[in-house]
Structure 1
């Protein structure tokens, strides 16, 4: 069982303020703070909607057993920094980089023992800690476009006087959603 991830290195926003302002045809700097907030809110919304980290970030996530590595809780995965566990004698230990292989196939990521290797035996009741770099190096254009649509609509309807129309938003993101 995986426990909620802890972000240890926050992501850079995948959309710049200039891109968001261009989408909204805004030429002044009066709303820069608002655009920064809308960009962060759009990233957060899309990450939750798709269950996928959008921008490169480092996470630390814990699980109960190595069999949990059959499906990692976050994807896409760029790399694994470390796999730490408590050995049966109670000492802190890590799995050597050469003792495992990442299978980072898009939105389905897993880690398996390297050929001829097997997972070590952790102490009963302890948790295994995976530290990984996750998220897109550069999000797909459809995700960026959906975020820009979200930002534009949120900027235009700041007063919340009409319900949002997310048909295009949903259509752009439907292929990037990851099941829980």
Structure 2
């Protein structure tokens, strides 16, 4: 359920420097490759933890029954719009009194229509993520991303040293959110 790597917010130079220091290189010639490996590592982290790292805007298309439905991404920070989408694809904003919203203590966003025609869909736009930027990311997640990017950099030529370091999993596991689909 990852975003395309190109959709990630810009990486700070300090994060690229952390990877350079971790893999013990003293030149900047591979910074573009390190940037790509960091983006890949961050995407793997999101997939492993089940949470978006950096707050970004998300849009979900959902069926429109008269029941509570979970939004797909975690942790939800805010729900910004709800639109009715007709079968022909036209969209119209729903009035606030037409639906109920909730963000529970686990960061799960919920929506329920008060009335439904049974055949329409709704488009929900919301913000989700753990931190506003890379510097606010929990230290364990950030260090795991740096280690994973370093592993990917060191093994970029296809030489596998036995799989990703177990330290990465140990750093990410406390933040893992399991969901039953």
**Shorter-chain TM-score range:** 0.7 to 0.9
| TM-score normalised by structure 2 residue count | 0.76
The number of residues matched between the two structures is 167
Paired position in structure 1 for 2:127: 133
Paired position in structure 2 for 1:142: 140
Q: Which runs of 5+ in 1 are unaligned?
A: 114-118
- Which string of whole-angstrom CA distances, capped at 9 and with x for unpartnered residues, describes residues 65-85 of structure 1? 35243x322111111111112
Q: Indicate which of 102, 110, 117 corresponds to 1:123.
A: 117
SS in 1 for 2:42: helix
SS in 1 for 2:171: helix
- Which string of whole-angstrom CA distances, capped at 9 and with x for unpartnered residues, describes residues 100-127 of structure 1? 4432424x413367xxxxx331332111
State whether residues 5 and 61 of structure 1, in contact with CA within 8 Å, keep that contact through their aligned partners in structure 2: no
| TM-score normalised by structure 1 residue count | 0.76
Paired position in structure 1 for 2:80: 81
| Structure 1 moving runs of 4+ over 6 Å | 4-7
In 2: Cα distance, 1:58 partner to 1:126 partner: 23
Paired position in structure 1 for 2:47: 48
In 1: Cα distance, 2:122 partner to 2:144 partner: 36
Paired position in structure 2 for 1:116: none
